[in-house]
């Protein structure tokens, strides 16, 4: 096993800042300019950024990242993926995107994924410093608010999904059995675990430990959970207890459990079945009475079917299952959450709250918030910073929303996976009250045939080749579409 080496950020009072940019001149310049106010760590790729983040104690509060990163520096995919990975590691991190890929659609999608703001290159260092300091202020406000309200742990909302969630929590909170929390990214699974299932139960005075399985190197998961003996591996200069031992009869929260390496799943299963485990490098058996709460944004049933997750572990973890509803199902709770976060950030920062016009309020209710509560909160942060005391109209509000749409220019069906297409379809169904599947498929078919004909200058053989069909099939489909147009 490799050395367990972790890097502490400089001991000064400077807040930590991770910069990820593949241009060494930009990274070095930003590191020099912003290093006056922040403890800066730089990386050139998504992989390097995550590797460095995993060694930092504490994790940096801020990140400044590019979208176009190797191995595809001319596409935003790596940057989008990095946003999700950073937030999986540190959900409270404030991320500002600094990118030359400054299409409005990229900016909106980055914010939907959880970025606090988006700045186009080249950027004024003074503006970046101001944005970072504002983000830091909002982060401090959240910390103060969390500390002051942690004893109440009230779930905001009165929609049916929230009422169902409250019922599930009441039923399972004091049970000694494992609980599996399922929900999309940004929906608040960690809050349900730490607040509702720990602090509001008889275990509230017991230890609470949390491990994000996506935020730690796979080879460090076992010693972190179970501890290790002196000399068990390079760097193990003494023995150390793990989370199961330290949690004792308290709570151990395993976030992103779907990322747990397959080879460790059997060891976790053993603890869940009889409480027994061994430190790395020891043969002595230890016992833990910690209650395990796991969370995932994956479909673990599908992971089991595809051999990436043990079926017996899944059934052991899901003795009780809590489903955290996505924000799109929470109806007028979106307004209650708006009021909650608006009051929180305005009060903490001493700014006058913004208002929504009637049209903007209706647009707020119609928006699906694909990034869930995290996206909603970030939108409130930006509106509070940009429009204190002002009335925000529909146009101003829509500039903060993700513009990707079914059939729109942002939909990339050639590279997107089934999950991306499902998200696009979901938004279409929610938006269109009289949706017609046949007509929608015809529109897509027409669009692809027209595009292929343009690329091939009308050559039917080349058009068929581009579309991956034979000439006869193409003729039949074009004839069918022509007849449909005539009937319409």
415 pLDDT band, cuts 50/70/90, is very low
Domain 160-323 has CATH 3.40.50.300: yes
Burial of 302 (0-12, 13-18, 19+ CB in 10 A): exposed
Q: Which of 391, 310, 328, 386 is nearest to 358 (CA)?
A: 391
Hey, do 7-148 and 436-487 end up sharing a CATH topology, with the first three levels equal? no
Residue bearing the bigger pLDDT, 67 or 442: 67
User: Rounded mean pLDDT of 292-311?
Assistant: 93
Q: Which of 34, 1, 7 is nearest to 135 (CA)?
A: 34
Distance CA 289, CA 249 (A): 5
Buried b (16+ CB within 10 A) or exposed e, 163-186: eebeebbeebbeeeebbbbbbbbb
4 pLDDT band, cuts 50/70/90, is very low
Least confident of 8-17, 26-35, 133-142, 421-430: 421-430
Q: Which residues contact 398 (CB under 8 A, 6 or more apart)?
A: 363
CATH topology of domain 7-148: Rossmann fold (3.40.50)
Task: State the pLDDT at residue 356.
Answer: 96
Q: Which of 14, 339, 323 is nearest to 168 (CA)?
A: 323
470 pLDDT band, cuts 50/70/90, is confident
pLDDT tens-digit readout, 33-83: 999 999 999 999 999 998 888 878 788 999 999 999 999 888 888 999 899
pLDDT tens-digit readout, 381-402: 999 988 999 999 999 998 898 7
Every domain of the chain and the residues it spans: 7-148, 160-323, 327-398, 436-487
Q: Considering only the top CATH level, what class is 327-398?
A: mainly alpha
DSSP-assigned letters across all residues of 347-364: HHHT-PPPEE-HHHHHHH
User: Rounded mean pLDDT of 429-433?
Assistant: 53
Task: State the pLDDT at residue 141.
Answer: 61
Buried b (16+ CB within 10 A) or exposed e, 460-473: eeebbebbebeeee
Task: State the pLDDT at residue 373.
Answer: 92
- Three-state SS string across 243-279, please? HHHHHCCCEEEEECHHHCCHHHHHHHHHHHHHCEEEC
Task: State the pLDDT at residue 432.
Answer: 52
Q: Give CA angle at 319 (314, 323), nearest 5°.
A: 85
Average model confidence (pLDDT) across the chain: 83
Task: State the pLDDT at residue 408.
Answer: 37
Q: Please say if the pLDDT value at position 421 is more than 60.
A: no
Q: Which residues contact 51 (CB under 8 A, 6 or more apart)?
A: 43, 217
Q: Which residues contact 56 (CB under 8 A, 6 or more apart)?
A: 6, 7, 8, 9, 16, 18, 41
Task: State the pLDDT at residue 189.
Answer: 92
User: Rounded mean pLDDT of 438-448?
Assistant: 82
End-to-end CA distance of the chain: 68
Task: State the pLDDT at residue 407.
Answer: 36
Tokens of 269: 């299963």
Query: What percent of the chain has pLDDT above 70?
Result: 86
Q: Please say if the pLDDT value at position 252 is more than 90.
A: yes
Could you say which architecture CATH assigns to the domain 436-487? Answer: Orthogonal Bundle (1.10)
Residue bearing the bigger pLDDT, 257 or 152: 257
Task: State the pLDDT at residue 337.
Answer: 95
What DSSP element (H or E) covers 291?
strand 291-296
24 pLDDT band, cuts 50/70/90, is very high
* Cβ pair 244, 288 in contact under 8 A: yes
Task: State the pLDDT at residue 142.
Answer: 66
Least confident of 109-123, 371-385, 471-485: 471-485
Least confident of 231-235, 262-266, 299-303: 231-235
Cβ of 386: how many Cβ atoms within 10 Å? Answer: 14
User: Rounded mean pLDDT of 372-377?
Assistant: 92
pLDDT tens-digit readout, 129-175: 988 988 888 776 665 554 444 444 678 999 999 999 999 998 998 88
Distance CA 64, CA 117 (A): 10
Total-model pTM = 0.68
* Cβ pair 218, 152 in contact under 8 A: no
Q: How many helices (H) and strands (E) does the chain have?
A: 20, 16
Residue 85: asked if its preceding bond is cis (omega within 30°), the reply is: no
């Amino acid at each position: 096993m490799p050395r367990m080496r972790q890097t502490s950020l400089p001991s000064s009072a400077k807040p930590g800042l991770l910069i990820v940019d593949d241009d060494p001149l930009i990274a070095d310049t930003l590191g020099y300019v912003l290093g006056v106010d922040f403890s800066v760590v730089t990386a050139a790729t998504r992989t390097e950024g995550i590797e460095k983040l995993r060694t930092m104690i504490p994790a940096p509060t801020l990140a400044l990242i590019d979208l176009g990163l190797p191995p595809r520096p001319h596409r935003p995919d790596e940057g989008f993926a990095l946003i999700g990975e950073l937030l999986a590691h540190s959900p409270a991190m404030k991320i500002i995107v600094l990118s030359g890929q400054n299409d409005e659609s990229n900016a909106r999608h980055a914010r939907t994924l959880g970025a606090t703001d988006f700045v186009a290159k080249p950027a004024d260092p003074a503006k970046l410093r101001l944005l970072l300091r504002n983000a830091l202020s909002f982060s401090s406000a959240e910390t103060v608010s969390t500390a002051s309200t942690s004893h109440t742990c009230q779930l905001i909302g009165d929609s049916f999904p929230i009422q169902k969630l409250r019922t599930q929590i009441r039923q399972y909170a004091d049970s000694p059995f494992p609980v599996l929390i399922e929900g999309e990214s940004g929906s608040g699974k960690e809050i349900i675990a730490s607040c509702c299932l720990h602090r509001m139960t008889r275990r509230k005075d017991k230890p609470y430990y949390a491990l994000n399985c996506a935020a730690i190197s796979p080879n460090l998961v076992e010693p972190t959970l179970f501890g290790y003996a002196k000399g068990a591996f390079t760097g193990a200069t003494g023995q150390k207890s793990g989370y199961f031992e330290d949690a004792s009869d308290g709570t151990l929260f395993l976030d992103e459990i779907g990322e747990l390496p397959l080879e460790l799943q059997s060891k976790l299963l053993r603890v869940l079945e009889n409480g027994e485990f061994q430190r790395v490098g020891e043969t002595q058996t230890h016992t833990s009475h910690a209650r395990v709460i796991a969370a995932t944004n994956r479909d673990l049933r599908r992971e089991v079917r595809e051999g990436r997750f043990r079926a017996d572990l899944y059934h052991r973890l899901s003795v009780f299952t809590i489903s955290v509803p996505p924000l799109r199902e929470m109806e007028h709770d979106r307004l209650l959450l708006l009021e909650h976060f608006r009051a929180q950030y305005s009060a903490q920062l001493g700014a006058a709250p913004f208002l929504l016009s009637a049209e903007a309020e209706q647009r707020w209710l119609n928006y699906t918030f694909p990034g869930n509560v995290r996206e909603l909160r970030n939108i409130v942060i930006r509106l509070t910073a940009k429009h204190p005391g002002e009335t925000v109209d529909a146009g101003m509000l829509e500039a903060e929303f993700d513009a990707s749409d079914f059939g729109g220019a942002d939909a990339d069906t050639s590279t997107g996976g089934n999950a991306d297409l499902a998200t696009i379809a979901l938004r279409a169904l929610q938006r269109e009250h009289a949706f017609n599947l046949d007509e929608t498929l015809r529109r897509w078919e027409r669009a692809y045939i027209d595009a292929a004909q343009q690329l091939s200058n009308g050559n039917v053989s080349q058009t068929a080749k581009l579309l991956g069909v034979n000439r006869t099939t193409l003729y039949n489909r074009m004839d069918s579409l022509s007849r449909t147009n005539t009937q319409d």
